[in-house]
Structure 1
Amino acid sequence: MLLGSDRSRPAYHQSYEILRDRILSGELPGGSKIVEEKIAAELGVSRTPIRESIRKLEQEGLIVNKRVVKPTGKDLRNMFQVRILLEGYSAQCAASYLKENELEALYQCVEVGRKGTREEIMMANERFHEIIVHASNNPVMIDIIDRMQSTIYLFRKTVVFYQRPHLIDEHEQIYHAIQARDGQQAELLMKSHLQADLDFCLHLISNE
């Protein structure tokens, strides 16, 4: 598969997106070794853009020591501890600061979560959390979560694919707390929601 002919986008960007999408789709499963020479030949580029792509994917936590990450239980706990703290606080902020149009967008995410296709549910899930995180109005916090997005995507795909019980019910409860401007309740519900995600993923790992 050669890179596209779009010369306005550097080879590094294109190769990064191809590698990232292969990891996120499962085409390159956890534990796969990333061989620079092989990928460079396959994509028709030099090793330099591949090396830069791998470096960025390492920063995002998708590659470690030239292998696709296969998160351990400890990795999961560490990441979710950060999410629980930051997104719990963000939910509290959302109860104070979300505008009516943003509340409506949050509700639409809940509706799609109940009625959409698996892909639509994935997108709605991501959007739901994104709206709340951005309500913090804290660029440092937003950046931390953004840099975790690729890894978060892998876990989000797990909870959607395996249909974690009560996932959308919890989103609806968080929405109602935010709509009621009850920041304390919104924070508690978000923390509980993410803890349930963590417990679900840990259970799946333990049964592999």
Structure 2
Amino acid sequence: MSQSYEKSRPAYRQSYEIIREMIISGALPRGTKIVEEKLASELGVSRTPIRESIRKLEQEGLIANKKVVNPSEKDLRNTFQVRILLEGYSARCAATYLHENELALLKECVRVGRTGTIDEIMRANESFHEIIVQASNNAVMIEMIDRMQSIIYLFRRTVVYYNRPFLIDEHERIYDAIHARDGQTAELLMQQHLQADLEFCLHLLSDKKSTSHH
């Protein structure tokens, strides 16, 4: 990303990304009250971009009632139920519609997933799901998934950072089914993959609850 592009990006977009990262990394812990003036002075911007960022993060479900959300098990289940339906369908579409160059990109995501640094694996994981979702060619569906991006990102980090077993093997099997143009198998594998992500996150949540004596 070029320097001039960085500078010309609206303050709102940068503020949004920084605040999102603070929430996701835990720098703004769950349950923290969001104070516009404080964030504005910390980020060195006016309150307008902060206000816009907060609005977008509210839409994405990371902030509610001016506080950082603390997603409950129910929120987690609800989000994943929607993903399982929509991304399962997208994987079926991908088996029909993905071109050779997109298949090559998917394959590359799997390779990086096996060999990359944590950050590279995060990005590869994100791209893997993104390529498949775009394959649905359904703007309404893509937008629904987009609105859940922050919550998805929050849990994707959990899955990668805590090194969920078989994550990349599952990606590879999904890729193989899509490559073989087997939509039914691709859909089923994607549903099972996301279900396994859900179970993993729920398990971590309950572990954290039982050990949260801080």
Q: What is the rounded CA distance, in whole Å, between the counterparts of 2:117 and 2:42 in structure 1?
A: 33
Unaligned runs of 5+ in 2: 1-5, 209-214
Q: What is the rounded CA distance, in whole Å, between the counterparts of 1:57 and 1:47 in structure 2?
A: 15
Give the corresponding residue for 1:123: 123
Q: Which moved more, 1:68-77 or 1:25-34?
A: 25-34
Q: What is the rounded CA distance, in whole Å, between the counterparts of 2:116 and 2:132 in structure 1?
A: 21
Question: 1:201 aligned to 2:195?
Answer: no
Q: What is the rounded CA distance, in whole Å, between the counterparts of 1:15 and 1:188 in structure 2?
A: 38
Matches within 5 A, 1:21-100: 21-100=21-100
Question: 1:108 aligned to 2:108?
Answer: yes
| Identity %, equivalent residues | 75
TM-score (norm: length of structure 1): 0.92
- Give how far 1:8 is off: 4.2
TM-score (norm: length of structure 2): 0.90
Provide, for residues 127-147 of structure 1, a one-character-per-residue CA deviation record: whole Å limited to 9, x for no partner: 000111011011111111112
Structure 1 residues 16 and 189: CA distance shift in structure 2, 3 A: same
Q: What is the rounded CA distance, in whole Å, between the counterparts of 1:7 and 1:192 in structure 2?
A: 42
Q: What is the rounded CA distance, in whole Å, between the counterparts of 1:96 and 1:109 in structure 2?
A: 19
Q: What is the rounded CA distance, in whole Å, between the counterparts of 1:118 and 1:10 in structure 2?
A: 28
- Give how far 1:73 is off: 0.3
Provide, for residues 56-99 of structure 1, a one-character-per-residue CA deviation record: whole Å limited to 9, x for no partner: 11011111111111111000000000000000000000111111
SS in 2 for 1:207: helix
SS in 2 for 1:196: helix
- Give how far 1:31 is off: 1.5
Q: Which moved more, 1:53-62 or 1:6-15?
A: 6-15
What's the C-alpha RMSD, in Å, of the aligned pairs? 1.5
- Give how far 1:7 is off: 7.3
Give the corresponding residue for 1:144: 144
Equivalent residues, number: 203
Q: What is the rounded CA distance, in whole Å, between the counterparts of 2:117 and 2:11 in structure 1?
A: 33
Q: What is the rounded CA distance, in whole Å, between the counterparts of 2:193 and 2:40 in structure 1?
A: 41
Unaligned runs of 5+ in 1: 1-5
Q: What is the rounded CA distance, in whole Å, between the counterparts of 2:14 and 2:23 in structure 1?
A: 14
